[in-house]
Structure 1
Amino acid sequence: MDLITTKPELFVDLLDIDTSIALDLKYFTGDNFVGESICGYLTETCLLTKPAALALQRVQHSLAEFGLGLKVFDAYRPQRSVDQFIAWCDQDGPCNTQERFFPTLQRPELFSKGYLIRHSSHTRGSTVDLTLIDLSSKVELDMGTEFDFFGPESWFDSSAVTAQARANRMLLQRVMVQHGFVPFHQEWWHFTLQDEPFPNQYFDFEIS
């Protein structure tokens, strides 16, 4: 697979498009299933292709009418970050994030069961991980699990979460689909722009 290592002009900083969208970039902060800041995330900048960013702006405007908004956990992800995930999952033994993020799985199963893949759609620049928040309080709505919880409880239609969490997931999916995004069944937070500009191209430039 050929990788592009320079940032195309079509990639933008999401906050340059809409400053009202909240960010909590988990792979920059280290609050994630690996337990540390991930290679390639040098600054807390949310990069997306411009069509995906503009579509998120439309989602944000639709939600704002109901006092709700978006919080983004991850967007463009360099291939070197995915490579770090691969190397980490190949390691043996327990880790201190297992109980929180994948209590019923071993690290290699994150790939074998499809929760992680070796060529992520995030690396194409039009995939985003996000949730809903109350605009006034900035508090996240209950989604039943946190971001990057690997297990059936994170599947969109899981019956293991409360009715309120299922309703919140349905609301998020409905508004994202209305504005051109395709959901991923196993992760309630994961969406890819249907008409993404780089459907067959992967990138590996740092977020700086």
Structure 2
Amino acid sequence: MALMFGLCIGSLHAQDKPALSPAKTAAEAKLVDIRTLVPDIAEDIKYAGSDNFMDTPADGYRAPACLLLRPVAEALARVERDLRTRHQRLKIWDCYRPARAVAHFVRWAHDLSDQRTKPQHYPRLDKSELLHGYIAESSGHSRGATIDLTMQQCAADGSRCMPLDMGTDFDFFDVRAHTDTPDVTPQQHANRLLLRDAMEREGFRNYPMEWWHYTLDPEPTPHTLYDVPVQ
């Protein structure tokens, strides 16, 4: 099983490690709520609640909101507008992630006594392996340009939107989460490519080990991490 995938794009080399911004608020960090651009975009912000691999809200998530740097939010809004012309929509699971939430992930991964979410999130993996490529101490999400999401198909009038079958759930630690894995059905793979094509048209690149993970390329602040709360 490949170990070079996880919740983060990966550990950065020490010389490239981003610096922590002194910003204390979203406004100071120039983070905006995607709903200021697309008020009715579909969201299910997993780390603001308990429906996630830790089974508890992550530190720093005070509200179920998607914050992004403005150029990223504007690009994502363009993806959504384009999809709606095809009776499709996005559904967002995570956007900007405070650095304190990433630290919370690491603490959880060290607690080998907590195995509550193993059946759903890492059924074929020993929890002791999660820190070896799956959960890193620095996340691209904390730079404000990365999004976790899926795609929905809607009725012709834009109602009754249903998520496309992508073959795995969000934050599934397994090779089946790789975008181009052969271990899903042809239709599930085709659905992943629909999402990838839609995102790539507006400059987002997929992290190939996670079909749901996209980063705007180039990133607006590639050398800066933020730790303001999501609220």
Normalised by the size of structure 1, how large is the TM-score? 0.95
Q: Tell whether 2:26 aligns with 1:3.
A: no
Distance 1:49 1:121 in 2: 13
Question: Which contiguous aligned blocks of 4+ residues in structure 1 show a shift greater than 3 angstroms?
Answer: none
Q: Secondary structure at the match of 1:72?
A: strand
Give the SS at the match of 1:187.
coil
Amino acid of the residue matched to residue 201 of structure 1? T
CA contact (8 A) 1:52 1:193 kept: yes
The alignment yields a C-alpha RMSD, in angstroms, of 1.3
Residue 148 (structure 2) pairs with residue 129 (structure 1): yes
Aligned to 2:163: 140
Match of residue 194 from structure 1: 217
What displacement does 1:116 show? 2.0
Q: Which residue of 1 aligns with 2:97?
A: 77
Q: Which runs of 5+ in 2 are unaligned?
A: 1-17
In the alignment, which residue of structure 2 is the partner of 1:46? Answer: 66
Supply the distance in 2 between the matched residues of 1:38 and 1:101 (Cα, whole angstroms): 16
What letter is aligned with 1:190? H
- Displacement of 1:53 in angstroms is 0.6
- Unaligned segments of structure 1, at least 5 residues: none
**CA distance in structure 2 between the aligned counterparts of 1:49 and 1:150, rounded to whole angstroms:** 27
For the Cα contact (< 8 Å) 2:143–2:222, is it kept in 1?
yes
Residues 1-150 of structure 1: pairs in structure 2 closer than 5 A: 2-4=19-21, 5-6=23-24, 7=26, 8=28, 10-112=30-132, 114-135=133-154, 136-150=159-173
Identity of aligned residues (%): 39
| Contact 2:152 2:163 (C-alpha < 8 Å) held by counterparts | yes
Partner Cα separation in structure 2 for residue 32 and residue 105 of structure 1: 17
Report the AA paired with residue 162 of structure 1.
T
Distance 2:209 2:29 in 1: 32
